[in-house]
Each structure stands twice: as C-alpha cells, then as structure tokens.
C-alpha cells in the first residue's frame, strides 16, 4: 500500500464514557464521506481514524479534500505506512518525502512511539532517522528548534507511518452526536454562518426558508438552496423546507399596524419553524440574529420573538461583530453567494419606523385580527421539502 490518511480526533478523546459512541459516529461519518471517491477501509485505533484506499481506482485527491470538512477531526495527514524497523522507515521516508526534503534547508524528525515494544524510544528513532536523512540529502541541516520541514514518524500497533506536516481539520464534534437543529435560513450572510457554528458542535441540520413569491423571486429561492448546498460540505446532506409565506405577509400588511410588521412576521416564522422542527425531531431553532444589528434584533424585540415558541432558540452570532461573521462566511465558502443581490421576505414590507422596544402585550394586541392557526396551517400545507447535497 502506497499512501493512506490519518485523521486525529479532537475533543472526542476527552469524552470519557461516551468516547466509543463518539468514535463510532465519526467512523460512520468518514466512511459515508469517502463513498463517492471509491472503496476505502476506515477504522479507528488509538484515537486516530485510518483511511486506506482498497484499490487503484480510488480518487485520492477528492477523498483527501473531503477529509478537511469532517467535524470531529483536529488535524489530518497523508502518510506512508512502513514496516516497524528503521531500515524500512528510512527508505519509505526518503521515497515519500524526499522531494520536500531536498527543497528544504533544514529539518528535524519528530517521532511518536505508541507501540512500547519497539526497541528505540521516540528520541532514539528521531536521532537515528534524522542522522540517515542528513547523510542522504545534500546540503540539508538538522535544526530542532526552527526547522523548515518536519518529518514525522509514528510507530503504532500495526505498522509505522511517515508523513510531513499535518493540515488543520474542521474541528468540532462528529455530526450527529449532538442531536438535530432547525436553522432559519435566509439568503443573507449571517444564517449560513450560524448554521455552520451549531453543526460544528456535532449537530445535524435541517433548514427552513420563508419565501414570498412573487415579492421574492425564484432566484432568491435558488440562492438559498445554493447556500444550503455549500453548508452541506461540512454538515452532510440536508433538507430545506421552503415555506410559502406570501399569504401571511399580505395578511399582516392588511391587518396590523405598520410599526409591528417585522415583529409579527418573525412570530409567524418562529411558530412555523417550531412546528416543522418538532415534526422532524429537531431540539432547537437556530437563527443568525446578532444583538443590535437591525431593529428586530434589540434585546426587547428578540425577547418578544423568543416568547412565540417553546423550543430553545440558539443564536451563535449574538455577540459577534460583522467582520468576525464575514471572516467565517469566507472561510466556509458561503460569502460570495450570500452577497449576490436578492430580496428577502424580511425586506418586502419593511416598516418605515419599526418598533425597537416592543413588549409582548403590544405585539399580541397588534396582531389581534389575525387567525394565526389557520394561516399557519395553510403555510405548512404549502411547504416544499428539498434535499440538498454538496456537489463540489
Ligand atoms: P441574515 O444575514 O441571516 O439574513 P439578517 O442580519 O439579515 O440575517 P434578519 O433579516 O433580521 O437579519 O433575520 C434574522 C434571522 O432570521 C436570520 O439570520 C435568519 O435566521 C432568519 N430569517 C430571516 N429571513 C428569513 C427567511 N426568509 N427564511 C428563513 N429564515 C429567515
Ligand atoms: Mg436577512
């Protein structure tokens, strides 16, 4: 076997009694993510996921790329397995990493020996392999403090492995260990980031999007579906529930005082999202709300909105600055799609002077004329479920 991948587990190793459950979930997730790229053997030993291609037909580059988006992994490397003796370790290190070493001016070897039966200590392995490399590669020097390149040797139970520097992994916890959440996904910058942050904590996502045709266009809907596809790179396949919201918005426009439009609309959004969430086994709602960003995101307005539902509402962006949110949106690849021009149903009937310090009683009073239950039932009946997956 020429090459394989090692994924190092993150916080999972701290989880004590639940460790096996976490590891099994990660193993299943990794195996599923590798499937489009061919036949891979996936197993976990000593808090490391091993991924071995089973034949030459495997798409190693595609698989390697996908490994960077799996939650629960802190770091990952491509490596070359070798026999557990110094000659083979040296030979494979030169064959596998020789080009990188010849480009570097200085290097060191860092070794780890989890198989304590191996006759040399970690330091002994590093000295021995380092000495042989220094002799074999012209003009390279050993520098243990600031090396340009580091060769890693790991002597594990079944084999030894050599590799170069590791890449950072996606971090977080394996998808699925933390339950399911319903993300209220708009076409903006914030909600995809909010969904990503909750997903990173091991939570499976589903999305709900409110769509007010013809006030918002098919293009606005396509944009949201594209955002969900981009999120699926990290979160895995998702369902987007697209709810027809036109009748509700028109009812609000025709029957409620303008300064409360947005607050009432948000009450409907929360109630409908909660219904779909409960139907789909989700334990919380997630929004991209951010304290003070707009009139409906004052403390008072959010309190009124939160009082519409019983499920907890998670708002992972609540205390962040826009710049910090944008940095994450760029990192996860949603930013460019989020800034495409679009209309959101929030912007359709925006009050000129929205109420920024509402009370629940005022909002209750403002929507007295509306038949909430009937409007909600009709909106739920007008919901389309769309499955999305990341497609590269
Ligand atoms: P975003 O950038 O996510 O659109 P925003 O800063 O524009 O957020 P609002 O428009 O007030 O803020 O929306 C607040 C939150 O409400 C959004 O982050 C999202 O979770 C939810 N939301 C807004 N519009 C919709 C929609 N059309 N469908 C589903 N959820 C929505
Ligand atoms: Mg928005």
Select from 245, 247, 249 the least CA-distant residue to 258.
249
| Least reliable range by pLDDT among 38-42, 52-56, 292-296, 321-325 | 292-296
CA–CA distances in Å: residue 242 to residues 134, 212, 353: 62, 10, 29
- At 296 the pLDDT is 80
Backbone angles phi and psi of 119, in degrees to 5: -65, -25
- The answer, yes or no, to whether any atom of ligand 1 lies below 6 A from the CB of 287, is yes
- The answer, yes or no, to whether any atom of ligand 1 lies below 6 A from the CB of 241, is no
- The answer, yes or no, to whether any atom of ligand 1 lies below 6 A from the CB of 204, is no
- At 15 the pLDDT is 64
73-105 b/e with 16+ CB inside 10 Å = b?
Answer: bbebbbbbbbebebeebbebbbebbeeebeebe
H or E element that contains 278:
helix 261-279
Nearest CA to ligand 1 atom 17: 288
- The answer, yes or no, to whether any atom of ligand 1 lies below 6 A from the CB of 216, is no
Which ligand lies nearest the alpha carbon of 270?
Answer: 1
56: left (phi over 0), alpha (psi -120 to 50) or beta: alpha
**Tens-place pLDDT, residues 83-114:** 999 999 999 999 999 999 999 999 999 999 98
Q: Is the per-residue pLDDT at 12 higher than 70?
A: no
- At 360 the pLDDT is 95
- Contact between residue 68 and residue 172 where contact means Cβ atoms under 8 Å apart: no
Ion ligand 2 residue ranges (Cβ < 5 Å): 186, 188, 344
Mean pLDDT, residues 295-307 taken together:
92
- At 66 the pLDDT is 97
**Tens-place pLDDT, residues 41-78:** 999 988 899 999 999 999 999 999 999 999 999 999 99
Q: How confident is the model at residue 206 (pLDDT cuts 50, 70, 90)?
A: very high
- The answer, yes or no, to whether any atom of ligand 1 lies below 6 A from the CB of 188, is yes
- The answer, yes or no, to whether any atom of ligand 1 lies below 6 A from the CB of 293, is yes
**Tens-place pLDDT, residues 218-234:** 889 999 999 999 999 99
What is the rounded CA–CA span in Å between residue 285 and residue 203? 12
3-state secondary structure of 173: strand
CA–CA distances in Å: residue 133 to residues 166, 212, 214, 220: 20, 66, 68, 58
Ligand 1 midpoint to CA 41 (Å): 42
What is the rounded CA–CA span in Å between residue 149 and residue 77? 14
- Is the backbone peptide bond immediately before 214 cis, with ω within 30 degrees of 0? yes
Nearest CA to ligand 1 atom 22: 186
89: left (phi over 0), alpha (psi -120 to 50) or beta: alpha
Angle ∠(223,270,241) on CA atoms, nearest 5 = 40
Average pLDDT, the chain: 94
- The answer, yes or no, to whether any atom of ligand 1 lies below 6 A from the CB of 273, is no
- At 35 the pLDDT is 95
**Tens-place pLDDT, residues 327-338:** 999 999 999 999
Ligand 2 midpoint to CA 254 (Å): 23
For a ligand 1 pocket test, name from 190, 217, 284, 386 the mutation site with the most ligand atoms within 8 angstroms of its C-beta: 190
For a ligand 1 pocket test, name from 266, 288, 306, 341 the mutation site with the most ligand atoms within 8 angstroms of its C-beta: 288
- The answer, yes or no, to whether any atom of ligand 1 lies below 6 A from the CB of 329, is no
Q: Percent of the chain scored above 90 by pLDDT?
A: 86
Ligand 1 atom nearest the C-alpha of 184 is 30
Nearest CA to ligand 1 atom 21: 184
What is the rounded CA–CA span in Å between residue 238 and residue 241? 10
Ligand 2 midpoint to CA 2 (Å): 49
- At 1 the pLDDT is 58
**Tens-place pLDDT, residues 233-280:** 999 999 999 999 999 999 999 999 999 999 999 999 999 999 999 999
Ligand 1 atom nearest the C-alpha of 208 is 29
What is the rounded CA–CA span in Å between residue 354 and residue 115? 66
- Contact between residue 100 and residue 132 where contact means Cβ atoms under 8 Å apart: no
Ligand 1 midpoint to CA 287 (Å): 7
Query: Which neighbouring-strand residues pair with 142?
Result: 107
- At 269 the pLDDT is 98
Ligand 1 midpoint to CA 172 (Å): 24
- At 215 the pLDDT is 87
For the chain, list the strands marked E by DSSP: 4-9, 40-45, 48-53, 73-82, 106-113, 141-142, 149-155, 160-163, 167-171, 180-184, 204-211, 238-244, 284-286, 313-314, 383-388
Ligand 2 midpoint to CA 83 (Å): 56
Higher pLDDT, 133 or 348: 133
Residue the block writes with tokens 């699926």: 232
- Contact between residue 191 and residue 285 where contact means Cβ atoms under 8 Å apart: no
Ligand 1 midpoint to CA 337 (Å): 15
């Amino acid at each position: 076997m020429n090459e394989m991948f090692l994924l190092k587990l993150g916080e999972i190793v701290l989880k004590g009694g639940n460790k096996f459950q976490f590891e099994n979930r990660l193993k299943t997730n990794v195996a599923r993510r590798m499937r489009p790229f061919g036949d891979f053997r996936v197993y976990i030993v000593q808090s490391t996921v091993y991924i071995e291609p089973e034949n030459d037909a495997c798409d190693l580059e595609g698989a390697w790329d996908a490994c960077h988006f799996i939650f629960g992994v802190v770091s990952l490397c491509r490596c070359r397995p070798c026999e557990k003796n110094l000659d083979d370790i040296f030979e494979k290190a030169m064959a596998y990493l020789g080009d990188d070493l010849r480009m570097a001016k200085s290097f060191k070897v860092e070794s780890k020996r989890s198989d304590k039966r191996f006759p040399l200590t970690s330091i002994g392995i590093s000295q021995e392999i380092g000495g042989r490399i220094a002799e074999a590669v012209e003009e390279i020097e050993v520098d243990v403090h600031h090396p340009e390149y580091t060769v890693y040797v790991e002597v594990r139970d079944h084999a030894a492995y050599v590799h170069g520097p590791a890449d950072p992994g996606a971090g977080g916890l394996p998808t699925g260990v933390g339950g399911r959440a319903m993300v209220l996904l708009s076409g903006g910058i914030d909600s995809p980031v909010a969904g990503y942050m909750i997903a990173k904590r091991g939570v499976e996502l589903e999305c709900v999007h409110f769509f007010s045709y013809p006030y918002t266009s098919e293009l606005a809907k396509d944009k949201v579906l594209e955002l969900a596809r981009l999120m699926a790179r990290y979160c895995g396949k998702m369902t987007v529930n697209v709810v027809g919201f036109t009748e509700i918005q028109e009812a609000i426009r025709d029957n409620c005082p303008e300064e409360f439009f947005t607050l009432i609309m948000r009450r409907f959004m929360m109630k409908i999202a909660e219904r779909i969430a409960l139907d789909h086994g989700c334990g919380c709602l997630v929004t991209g709300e951010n304290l003070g960003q707009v009139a409906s995101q004052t403390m008072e307005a959010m309190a009124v909105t939160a009082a519409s539902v019983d499920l907890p509402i998670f708002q992972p962006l609540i205390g962040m600055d826009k710049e910090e949110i944008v940095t994450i949106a760029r990192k996860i690849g949603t930013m460019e799609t989020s800034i495409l021009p679009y209309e959101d149903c929030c912007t359709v009937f925006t009050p000129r002077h929205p109420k920024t310090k509402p009370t629940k009683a005022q909002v209750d009073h403002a929507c007295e004329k509306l038949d909430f239950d009937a409007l909600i039932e009709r909106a739920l009946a007008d919901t389309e479920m769309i499955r999305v997956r990341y497609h590269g």
